[in-house]
Amino acid sequence: MTERQEFKVLRTYDDFELREYLPCVIAEVKVSAQYSIASSSAFSTLFNYISKGNKASEKIAMTAPVITAQKAQGSESAEWYVSFVMPSGSTFGHLPHPNDSQVKLRELDTETCVAKSFRGKATDELSRKKVKELRASASKANIAISDETRICRFDPPFKPGFLQYNEIVIPAYLEAI
């Protein structure tokens, strides 16, 4: 089974969870494109990095999810950050440097987020709908959240769309919790 990004559920609401994500390292590629194009165009670059496309020619295990993040809401054609979470226990200093300058390694600290899961192919339309639902639910629960949106995909693209598992994850502000 594919290793998943580690988190603890802090509280369960009717249609979302409040989670604490543990520190991790991500490999990330920035793409200026529409959502539908961004993740597929960055995926091969990231996959190449974990498949020996690095200075040490080391293979790095694939993990889930593949995260497609937008730092601010709203723009149709915007900057997206597509990332792979490195296996648990990975540290920035011990990961091999990428051969491709597009791939950036970044450490993430412990982070509190709201998360909503859904089934189906994570299309732009379905993802926007789920983001809107999560933002409304968090607001109703009086949880302040950031403008960043993360669309987390857990299944390979060849898996039938109706079977695909995804999550919307949005960082929350601790002082409001």
pLDDT in the model for residue 42: 94
pLDDT digits (tens, 9 = 90+) for 79-96: 999 999 999 999 988 999
- In order of their start, the domains of the chain are 3-176 (3.20.80.10)
pLDDT digits (tens, 9 = 90+) for 17-51: 999 999 999 999 999 988 888 888 899 999 999 99
CA 58 to chain centroid, in Å, comes to 23
Beta bridge partners of residue 67, listed in sequence order: 83, 152
- Helix 35-50 crosses helix 124-140 at what angle (to 10 degrees)? 100
Q: What is the reported pTM?
A: 0.92
pLDDT digits (tens, 9 = 90+) for 49-72: 999 988 889 999 999 999 999 987
DSSP string, 95-132: SPPBSSTT-EEEEE--EEEEEEEEES---HHHHHHHHH
pLDDT in the model for residue 71: 83
pLDDT in the model for residue 74: 56
The percentage of the chain sitting over the pLDDT mark of 70, rounded to a whole number, equals 94
pLDDT in the model for residue 157: 83
Q: Tokens for 96?
A: 């091999």
pLDDT in the model for residue 125: 95
Beta bridge partners of residue 26, listed in sequence order: 85, 106
For the residues 148-174, what does the mean pLDDT come to?
94
